[in-house]
Structure 1
Amino acid sequence: MTVTEAAAALEDARLRQHMDRDREDLADDERGPAEVSEWERITQLLVTAGGVYAPETDAVVQDELAADRRAEEAEQQRLQEQQQLAARADELAAHMRAGRLDRTVETRPGDEAAREVLVHRGDYHPVVDGWLAQALADRSGHYADPAARTAADSLPESV
């Protein structure tokens, strides 16, 4: 895109914004002003830098794309953690139903959160608290680590 094309796009955006100013359904719409602002930025970039505009060389666009990628990666990480937590809650519930939630099942980091998942799903049983309390008292499983024992403050009073 050349500076002339960018200037024409800017004028089109300003005209659309002007024509839409009396429409009630667009009163709170921020797209018009944002579009004008972006075309102003691109036009100014081309005036000062010269040449042809390409999004691949626009630092602002590349920063926005990088931020979008980071946000998507963070969301994927969050979803993966939720799936792992749900899987651990399912595993603990299966042990609990089978009567095997005892010292043979080692605690892991995140079991406190898995307990909360069981509570929220309505699949909780006090056996879970007893299992966590026993591991905490024995300093077994992940509670062998002093930091894990300190972090166990998030457990309910019953544990």
Structure 2
Amino acid sequence: MSNETTAGRSAPALPQTSADAATAESREVLAARVRVGAAARGLDAPSVGRRVERCENELKFTRSGGPAGEALVAGVELELAEWRRIAALLAGVSGTYRPAGDPVVAAAETALAAREEAARAAKQAAEEDRKARRHWALRRAHALLDLAQADRLDASVPVTADDPGAWPMLTGHNPMAVARIDGWMARALAGRSGALSDPAVRTAALAALPERVTSHAALLEALTTPHPGTCVSADELEFLGELARAAPEATVRLARWLAAPR
């Protein structure tokens, strides 16, 4: 606080607030401190007192506003608490308030800046991760297409947990090759092979893959469940993929009917 115009006693020492304490507080509290501190810059005790009265009246009005006002009450309460804190600092002082000399506001500014920097870093990291995943998915899709077109995509090619992410990259490519890739994944889902032996991975795959693949897998599983250990030939049941692509919902209903106990 500035005492350049002070005729009486000097301003009392401001309470110290550690950076750790500010870091633990909510963003709303910190933002209210910075916002009110900026609004109070250069104000003397009487001026701050009038701001306290104005904020108290605003709080009463906001509380009487029903559900529409309830959402604003917390913010007004935070600002009122800060105005009262500054009023207490200026009590009996003829100087003016200077936020730069208030460690409470300084700690709030530092904590807010650190959080904003952390948020920017997290956003950047997420974007880099998204790009890396997309690049991997694109390369994996082309690798699967090459195998399918060479007629080498079979059970010897392991399914990975990230493979479902490659499906959006298959759009627009050779339909026959894509159909082979669909069948390869459907057989892996039905047989719970490779990474799909993990229930969590399989559940995530079922949620991410298109219905033509998941319905095909459901029908394969329903047909093989009565005969555990049966080896299903891709050529023998190739028509299932065609059925799943043509009518995925009907395929799922058929799979449920086959799996139902009788």
Deviation at 1:131, TM superposition (A): 0.5
State percent identity of aligned pairs: 31
Are 2:103 and 1:49 equivalent residues in the alignment?
Answer: yes
Cα 1:92–1:48 change in 2 (3 A) is same
Count how many residue pairs are aligned between Structure 1 and Structure 2.
118
1:137 aligns with 2:190: yes
The two structures have a TM-score, normalised by structure 1, of 0.59
Deviations 1:52-82 (A, max 9, x none): x8xxx83322322222111111111111111
Name the CA distance, whole Å, in 2 between partners of 1:149 and 1:48.
Answer: 56
What aligned pairs does 1:8-157 form with structure 2 within 5 A after superposition? 40=38, 45-49=99-103, 58-119=110-171, 121-123=172-174, 125-154=178-207, 155=209, 156=211, 157=215
* Cα root mean square deviation, aligned: 3.1
Q: Alpha carbons of 1:150 and 1:75: their partners in 2 closer, same or farther (altered >3 Å)?
A: closer
Alpha-carbon deviations, 1:3-60, whole Å to 9, x = none? 9xxxxxxxxxxxxxxxxxxxxxxxxxxxxxxxxx7x937x65304239xx8xxx8332
The residue type equivalent to 2:153 in the other structure is L
Q: Output the CA distance in 1 between the equivalents of 2:182 and 2:120.
A: 41
Counterpart CA distance in 2 for 1:142 and 1:48 is 57
Give the aligned partner of residue 27 of structure 1.
none
Q: TM (normalized to structure 2)?
A: 0.38
User: CA shift at 1:123, angstroms?
Assistant: 4.8
Distance in 2 between residues matched to 1:49 and 1:111, nearest whole Å:
53
Counterparts in 2 of 1:59 and 1:136: CA distance versus 1, 3 Å: closer
Aligned equivalent of 2:216: 158
User: SS state of the match for residue 216, structure 2?
Assistant: coil
Q: What residue identity is the alignment partner of 1:158?
A: H
1:23 match: none
Amino acid at match of 2:130: R
Greater mean alpha carbon deviation, residues 61-70 or residues 102-111: 61-70
Residues 58 and 45 (structure 1 numbering): CA distance in 2 closer, same or farther, change over 3 Å?
Answer: farther
Query: Structure 2 stretches of 5 or more lacking a match?
Result: 3-34, 42-97, 218-262
Question: Residue 107 of structure 1 contacts residue 132 of structure 1 at CA under 8 Å; is this kept in 2?
Answer: yes
